[in-house]
Every structure is written in C-alpha cells, then in structure tokens.
Amino acid sequence: MSDMKAARLAAIRAANIQKQAEGTSAGHTADTPEETAVLPRTDEQTPASPTETFILFSLVAVLGAFLVSFALPGGLSGLSASLLGPDSKAYWYLSRSTAFVAYGLLWISMTLGLMMTKKMTRLWPGGPVIFALHQHTSILGLAFGLFHALILLGDRYSNYTLGQILIPFTNPGTTTLWVGLGQVSLYLMGIVGISFFIQPLIGRSVWRIIHLFSFVIFGLVLCHGVMSGSDSGTIWAEAIYWISGANVLFLTINRVLNSVMEPRRVARPAPAKSKPHEQLVKA
C-alpha cells in the first residue's frame, strides 16, 4: 500500500512540474494543425495614411525636379523649345510614354494584390510590405494615368478639349469606343484609390467589393492599349500586353483554385489531457 501512495505522490509532482513548464512556454506557437491559430490575411493590413503618402510623393517630385535642373541645364531649354515650338510633338510623346508607365504600375499592383494571400508574402518581404507596395503602385498608376490623359491638352495635332478628355466616349474618330473604355477605367481607378483611405468608414465588406473592380479596370486598360494605342503594333508592346495579361490571368486562376481547394483553417483547441494522477487506480 505504501508503494501505491508513493507512486501517486510522484505522479502528482510530475503533473505540477508539467503545468509549470506549460505556463512558461505558453507564448510559443503550436506546430500541429489542431493547435495552429488562424493566420491573419495580408490584405487586412492598415492602409498608409494619406498624409504620409502625399508627403512621400511630394518629396520625390521635388527631388527629381531639383536634380534635373542641375544635371540637365542645357536640356531644359531644348525641352522648352520642343514644347512651345510650332510643330511640337513632346506632348504626344509624353502621353504615349506615361501610358506604358501607368499600365506597368497597374500590372504590378494587380500582381501584388493577387499574391497577398500566399504564404510566401508572410515570410519575405512580409504582408504589410506587400500591402503598402500594392497601395502605392495603385495610386501611382492613377497619377500617371491622369497625366497620360491631361497632357494631351497641349498637343496641337489631336486638339483634344477638356470635355473630350474627361467625358467618356466623346472622342471623335474610329477609336471612340476603346478610348472611352480607357476613360471609364481611369474613373474606376480613382474610386479604388480613394477606397484605400476611407476603408475605416466604409467597412471591410464594401472595401472588398470595390476592389473587385480592379479586374474590370485591368481588362479595360488592356483593351484600351491594344485597340487604340499608337504603339500596340510594335513587337515590344505586344510582348508587354501578352506577358502581363497571361500573368494576371494565371494568378487569378491560381487564387480562385486555392480559395476553393484550401479552405481557411479554423483554430481548434487542443484536446484536454488527462492528469496522470487520475489514471492511477485508487489503492
């Protein structure tokens, strides 16, 4: 009988030691699926404040203008003559070049947005970084898109009016439909860009619905570039359109399949462990 009592006391001491060990290691994450908590989604990060974004873009613009004014003192006079000359084509070239910059930024923003729920973004460079890049490239794409459209006011060959640039489907010519689709996509980009900063006001559900328009925007911009772009017939432009379109299509299909085949893991509490002294048979 004394042996049974000694074994029971030893079991009680072992249980107390185990409780203390579990208390000290409570901050560690369990490795088993049952004890793994739901990982936070990377698209639920807090967006950067509008003030920080505005200051960052302003500093970059001022610094760029400052460097150009010192590095290219002779080039500025030539640029001025090209912009104000009788046969100026600088506005047209600026519009064509910024169109591809805006499209490239939109492509990068779409790629980052579609990759945000993957595990690799939680390792490197991390969800918050991916979300910030996604947000800033989206806003920069909107800025270059506006520049692409408004700079045409200075082009004397096309003679666009402000109304023809701002009102969709009022552009005269054979590409009215495709130019109008580009104008519509610009307004949708503005709505998506604003939604980053009013997310706390509109809620997560509405914010997600607005961001679904990103797929519509990319499709409209792609059609606008292919059907109405002056460089769409060149090999390099076709390569850009094919690669970017295939990339976004692949990531979209991959994300849809992942959401269907791999449901979100739900945290489940670990099964209760029976105490060692309860497993002993009473003497």
The pLDDT of 169-191, averaged and rounded, is 91
Residue type, position 225, single letter = G
**Considering the domain boundaries, does residue 77 fall inside one?**
no
The pTM (predicted TM-score) of the whole model is 0.68
| 267 found inside a domain | no
- pLDDT, position 248: 95
Q: What is the pLDDT of residues 91-145, one digit of tens each?
A: 888 899 999 999 999 999 999 888 876 565 665 566 777 888 888 899 999 999 9
Q: Is residue 174 part of a domain?
A: yes
Query: For residues 199 and 223, what is the distance between their CA atoms, to the nearest angstrom?
Result: 29
Residue 5 in any domain: the answer is: no
User: CA geometry: angle at 191 spanning 186 and 193, to 5°?
Assistant: 90
266 in a structural domain: no
pLDDT score, position 39: 36
* Residue 229 confidence (pLDDT) above 50: yes
For the stretch 96-111, what's the b/e string if a residue is b when 16 or more beta carbons lie within 10 angstroms of its beta carbon? eebbbbbbbbbbbbbb
Spatial separation of the C-alpha atoms in residues 9 and 145, rounded to whole Å: 77
The pLDDT assigned to 148 comes to 93
Q: How far is CA 90 from CA 25, 41, 98, 160, in A?
A: 66, 45, 12, 15
pLDDT tens track for 132-167: 888 889 999 999 999 999 998 888 778 888 999 999
> Does 202 map to a domain?
yes
Domain that holds residue 136: 51-56+87-261
pLDDT tens figures, 181-198: 999 999 999 999 999 888
Task: Specify whether the CB–CB gap between 273 and 34 falls below 8 A.
Answer: no
**Cis status of the peptide bond prior to 271, with omega within 30 of 0:** no
pLDDT digit string, tens, across residues 8-66:
667 667 776 666 665 544 444 444 443 333 334 444 444 545 556 555 665 665 565 55
- 244 confidence band (pLDDT: 50, 70, 90): very high
How would residue 249 be classed by pLDDT, with cut points 50, 70 and 90? very high
Structure tokens at 3: 């042996």
Q: How many CA atoms lie within 13 A of 29 on its CB side?
A: 7
Q: 51-60, 235-244, 246-255 — which is least confidently predicted?
A: 51-60
* Residue 204 belongs to some domain of the structure: yes
Q: Is there a contact between 275 and 138 (Cβ–Cβ < 8 Å)?
A: no
| Structural domain count of the chain | 1
On whether the CB atoms of residues 176 and 169 are closer than 8 A, the answer is yes
Is it the case that residue 267 has pLDDT exceeding 50? no
Confidence of residue 68 (pLDDT cuts 50, 70, 90): very low
Cα 61 to Cα 59: distance, rounded to the nearest angstrom = 5
Q: Check residue 81 and give left, alpha or beta (phi > 0: left; psi -120 to 50: alpha).
A: alpha
Q: Average pLDDT, whole number, for the chain?
A: 75
Which of residues 113 and 273 earns the better pLDDT score?
113
What would the two tokens of residue 263 be? 């449901």
Q: Distances in Å between the alpha carbon of 160 and those of 2, 125, 244?
A: 103, 44, 30
**CA dist., res. 176 & res. 38, Å (int):** 49
Q: Is 73 inside a domain boundary?
A: no
- Report which secondary-structure segment, H or E, holds 112: helix 90-115
Query: Residue 199: its pLDDT value, please?
Result: 87
Angle between helices 213-228 and 235-261 (to 10 degrees): 160
Q: Which pLDDT does position 63 carry in this prediction?
A: 60
Half-sphere exposure of 18 (CA within 13 A, CB side): 11
DSSP string, 212-242: THHHHHHHHHHHHHHHH-TTTTSHHHHHHHH
